[in-house]
Amino acid sequence: MSDGQEFFGEPTSVYADSQALEDGSRVDISTLAIHFRGRPLNRMTGGLWNDFRPFVEAGSLAHHGNYNATLRSMLKTKLLRAYHKGGIWQVPPGLWLMENELNGWTIMRPEDY
């Protein structure tokens, strides 16, 4: 059982990754090739992606217009400050890392859980 399940209990419904990608509630970021604690950071919630988008667009100038390089740099920097508290990996400021069904991590805002 994952730390999230111990903290929150069993989910009342199961929402498949393919459904979440299709409706935009999750974004596939596996091409960024970021790892945390031996697992890939392969998903980001759609809401968090929308929060990051203006910063990625502005920062991409430093990476010759490469959005992926900009987002990768931002996320890797944030993961350096990750800490474990209350059974959840947390990333400042106020983000969570939750295990996902792909044996990886999803980065999200707590309200996206």
DSSP secondary structure string for all residues of 48-112: HHHHHHHHHHHHGGGGTT-HHHHHHHHHHHHHTT-EEETTEEEETTTEEEEE-TTSSEEEE-GGG
* Predicted local confidence at residue 1, as pLDDT: 47
Q: What is the pTM of this model?
A: 0.82
* Predicted local confidence at residue 2, as pLDDT: 54
pLDDT digits (tens, 9 = 90+) for 33-67: 999 999 999 999 999 999 988 888 887 777 677 88
Q: Cis (ω within 30 of 0) for the bond into 93?
A: yes
User: Residue 33 corresponds to which tokens in the numbers above?
Assistant: 């090739």
Mean pLDDT of 63-75: 86
Residue whose entry in the numeric block shows the structure tokens 């502005």: 58
